[in-house]
Amino acid sequence: MNRIINIALLGFGTVGAGVIKILTTNSDKITPKIGAVVNVKKILVRNPQKVRDIKFDGEITTDFEEILNDKDINIVVEVMGGEHPAKEYILRALQAGKNVITANKDVVAKYGKELFEAAEEPNVDLMFEASVGGGIPIIRPLKQCLAANEITEVMGIVNGTTNYMLTKMTNEKIDFADVLAEAQSQGYAESDPTADVGGFDAARKIAILSSIAFGTRISLDDVYVEGITKISSQDIEYATELGYVIKLLAIAREDENGIDVRVHPAFVPSTHPLATVSDVFNAIYVRGDAVGETMFYGRGAGQLPTASAITADIIDVARNTMHNVNGRILCTCFEEKKLCNINNTQSPYYIRILVDDKPGVLAAIAGAFGAQQVSLNSVIQKRRVNHCAEIVLITYNVTEANVRLALNTIKGMSVVNEVENVIRVVS
Amino acid sequence: MNRIINIALLGFGTVGAGVIKILTTNSDKITPKIGAVVNVKKILVRNPQKVRDIKFDGEITTDFEEILNDKDINIVVEVMGGEHPAKEYILRALQAGKNVITANKDVVAKYGKELFEAAEEPNVDLMFEASVGGGIPIIRPLKQCLAANEITEVMGIVNGTTNYMLTKMTNEKIDFADVLAEAQSQGYAESDPTADVGGFDAARKIAILSSIAFGTRISLDDVYVEGITKISSQDIEYATELGYVIKLLAIAREDENGIDVRVHPAFVPSTHPLATVSDVFNAIYVRGDAVGETMFYGRGAGQLPTASAITADIIDVARNTMHNVNGRILCTCFEEKKLCNINNTQSPYYIRILVDDKPGVLAAIAGAFGAQQVSLNSVIQKRRVNHCAEIVLITYNVTEANVRLALNTIKGMSVVNEVENVIRVVS
């Protein structure tokens, strides 16, 4: 007779229902791996009257205390989303000596330190594989499989909505506004798309990934963020011509200048492993001193992929419970490290400028860059519009501060109509 | 004062030296993760006089018994390679209650069952992350991160040598013999290249992966194997024209007909995530019922990538040792499952035939396929050579047995000069 491990879900939305589905459908695979049966004893919901299209035989409750005070419940799985009261519930569950699994990137990115500290004394597990990359195994690979490495770079496409939009803009030559409207009607983008298109969702995820990769706590405020709202079909056309694809990247790098963490659109060479990651797919590229380049690819969102990651955490915590070793691997942020300000980062840049179509203008612009030590790799005069000419420049690897100074000068020139876009290039 | 975990290496070749390098260089990252210092106490070598370009302060021995009888040694790391005496040493170490880590695909594929059984009673760890995919995390992701899934397919490029050769043949239009000679001179292929180009190395790896993925023991003999020796630059040219790349794939699938495990060259659509995996890189594509498609990409061989995986295992075993839970996750082959014979597998096929350049030949060939229910998706008459014509066919999804019967008839036709190649297409 198998032992029973009782768990509770906080939330019975799409992802919660996915966890129930997997635990039901694949119980014959899961039970022997643990040596115990996972039983969902209670689910916390807001509205118990709501009709759900999934069968659940356990108890439905609206009272968190009922779960907290249930001594049989070993694992609390937070799938309600949002910052509050999710954070408070997670904290109290940990303090009550319960193991916690969460898919909540907002809470982990913002309160990770506090929650991990709370897990220490009662020695319970706190797992969050689903918080980044949906079903893609990435937290455990970073914490365990690549643990022997000094990680120097994590670079990911970690937001499915924007990747879907950029893929569509690239393949079908549609403008940002149109593709956003289409993504909203398909349910790929929310009615308020700011978290996705503004880069903030990706920022939370790279804060989590970089904390693990570099062994130091990176908070959301440490991440420099630019979204994709300024990307036009013109930029995409030039990128294609030049052998690149535009992706919203979450980038974290460590070198002698410190840790540099940022989210922004980028020109990715079409030969880079991330270049072919299309539609709603996500991928995380990791570079370590021993392993070299690795990449992890899959579905970054969706009911079952997310529930796959959560259920893997349930299996892992249950295995720990069976061996009495909960809290075996907790926070791995052992060091304090300095951050590198965005002004001190280096990159090649793509710059698109609309100027008066007159002799001498190109020389003036090149001169302004030169005065700030910004060397130009290529300068192409593109289409002419009315009395204007569009100039596309790619710089060599240069410092952000210098680019900004040069662009300030250029913006002040009477022959310059507009600096239309500035996009970093992945080298 | 940190506790010390003593380990011994069996073998001090390239990979063993890599483990020493990583443990030395990254000790500041590794020690806090374990809460203990990993100390390589002894290394078993054949020739203690051999000059090595790496500093090692511990004991060098030629006597395995010295390691076996050393009560301080908690982990034995087998990096000597070859079947014997590696297998016997691993077995005896497990029986003596030592945890074992091995990078030895030959031993794991052939003796996995026996070794895992030996690990059970003393309750010790047996880890083998480096045995497949070099530095790519794949064993632990399959055993843990995707544990909630019913895995339906594992498909990998798991041999770097052949992938390097096929990439070179594709990009530079070089023939097999020339590219093999070049790979041998570069050290990418061995002087006897049979294990690589014959597909046997990949077969060992897919036996290991499929055993974990399907939870049943798949032995090397269960794997159907074809190598890449028959791939010509002509096949590669046609593949490119038709929108495919040719890769040596290790494929394992489970459906209602049973488990189908095979290694052979295949036409991979150029849009498939595996298509862009080039040169010596490896990638393993995994499909699960919950997670959908995932892929794991990186360096499948080399000193430091392989040592990265081994050292990750060392960290994991040491973590287990610190918590007294060695043997926490052992063999997960809980079921006996039936295999699907290659004759019963289904696939589209690419078939290249040299025929007499006469009217009616095409109709005769199409008729022979039709008589065996092999439907043709496309038939293209390609180049003419002397009085012959080359016909390239792509079939619909058809049964292997039927293709073989049809080809037997076709080979017997007086107008057919040669069935030049038959390559399965990934659909």
Region A95-105 average pLDDT: 98
B14, B123, B149: best mutation site toward chain A, by most A Cβ within 10 Å?
B149
Q: What is the 3-state secondary structure (H, E, C) of chain A?
A: CCEEEEEEEECCCHHHHHHHHHHHHCHHHHHHHHCEEEEEEEEECCCCCCCCCCCCCCEEECCHHHHHCCCCEEEEEECCCCCCCHHHHHHHHHHCCCEEEECCHHHHHHHHHHHHHHHHCCCCCEECHHHCCCCCCCHHHHHHHCCCCCEEEEEEECCHHHHHHHHHHHHHCCCHHHHHHHHHHHCCCCCCCHHHHCCHHHHHHHHHHHHHHHCECCCHHHCEECCCCCCCHHHHHHHHHHCEEEEEEEEEEEECCEEEEEEEEEEEECCCCCCCCCCCEEEEEEEECCCEEEEEEEECCCHHHHHHHHHHHHHHHHHHHHCCCCCCCCCCCCECCCECCHHHCEECEEEEEEEECCCCHHHHHHHHHHHCCCCEEEEEEEEEECCEEEEEEEECCEEHHHHHHHHHHHHCCCCEEEEEEEEEECC
What's the rounded mean pLDDT across residues B141-152?
A: 97
Domains of chain A from N-terminus onward: 3-131+303-322 (3.40.50.720), 139-299 (3.30.360.10), 343-425 (3.30.70.260)
Are residues B290 and A302, on separate chains, in Cβ contact within 8 Å? no
Contacts of A269 in chain B (CB under 8 A): none
**For residue A414, how far is the Cα from the chain centroid?**
41
Q: In terms of CA atoms, which chain A residue is nearest residue B38?
A: A148
CB contacts < 8 A (A, B): 198
Phi, psi (5° rounding) for residue B413? -75, 140
pLDDT in tens, A208-262: 999 999 999 999 999 999 999 999 999 999 999 999 999 999 999 999 999 999 9
* Partner A contacted by B342 (CB < 8 A): no
The predicted model gives A157-181 an average pLDDT of 96
Q: Report the pLDDT value the prediction gives residue B264, as an integer from 0 to 100.
A: 98
Contact across the interface for A147 and B315, Cβ inside 8 Å: yes
Mean pLDDT of chain B: 96
Residue of A215, A291, A315 with shortest CB distance to B299: A291
Quick check: A127 contacting B, CB < 8 Å? no
Instruction: Say whether residue B29 is in contact with chain A using an 8 A CB cutoff.
Output: yes
Q: How confident is the model at residue B346 (pLDDT cuts 50, 70, 90)?
A: very high
pLDDT of residue A1: 65
Contacts of B302 in chain A (CB under 8 A): 292
Q: Which of residues 75-114 of B touch A (CB under 8 A)?
A: none
- pLDDT tens, residue by residue, B211-236: 999 999 999 999 999 999 999 999 99
Chain B CB contacts of A304 below 8 Å: 289-292
Residue pLDDT, tens place only, B379-421? 988 778 888 999 999 999 999 999 999 999 999 999 999 999 9
Query: Does the bond joining B305 to the residue before it have cis omega, within 30 degrees of 0?
Result: no
Min Cα–Cα distance to chain B from A325, Å: 7
The model's pLDDT over A342-389, given as tens digits with 9 standing for 90+, comes to: 999 999 999 999 999 999 999 999 999 999 999 999 998 877 888 899
pLDDT score, position B245: 97
State pLDDT tens for residues A111-120.
999 999 999 9
At B31 the pLDDT is: 97
* pLDDT tens by residue, A256-284: 999 999 999 999 999 899 999 999 999 99
pLDDT at B148: 98
Active-site hit among A87, A168, A205, A247: A205
Spatial separation of the C-alpha atoms in residues B169 and A416, rounded to whole Å? 50
Here the ipTM equals 0.95
Tell whether B253 is within 8 A of chain A (Cβ).
no
Average pLDDT over residues A314-340: 95
Active site residues of B: 205
Of the pLDDT bands very low, low, confident and very high (cuts 50, 70, 90), residue A186 is confident
Q: Which of A291, A299, A310, A332 to mutate to test the interface with B (most CBs of B within 10 A)?
A: A291
Confidence of residue B205 (pLDDT cuts 50, 70, 90): very high
Whether B304 sits inside 8 A of A291 (CB atoms) is yes
Instruction: Assess whether pLDDT exceeds 80 at residue B182.
Output: yes
Q: Give the CA radius of gyration of chain B.
A: 24
CB contact under 8 A, A302 and B288: no
Q: Which residues pair with B247 in a beta bridge?
A: B266
Q: How far is B2 from chain A (nearest CA, A)?
A: 15
List B residues 361-380 in contact with A (Cβ-Cβ < 8 A): none
User: Residue A202: pLDDT above 80?
Assistant: yes
CA A196 to each of CA A157, A186, A189, A268: distance values in angstroms, whole numbers, following the listed order: 12, 15, 8, 20
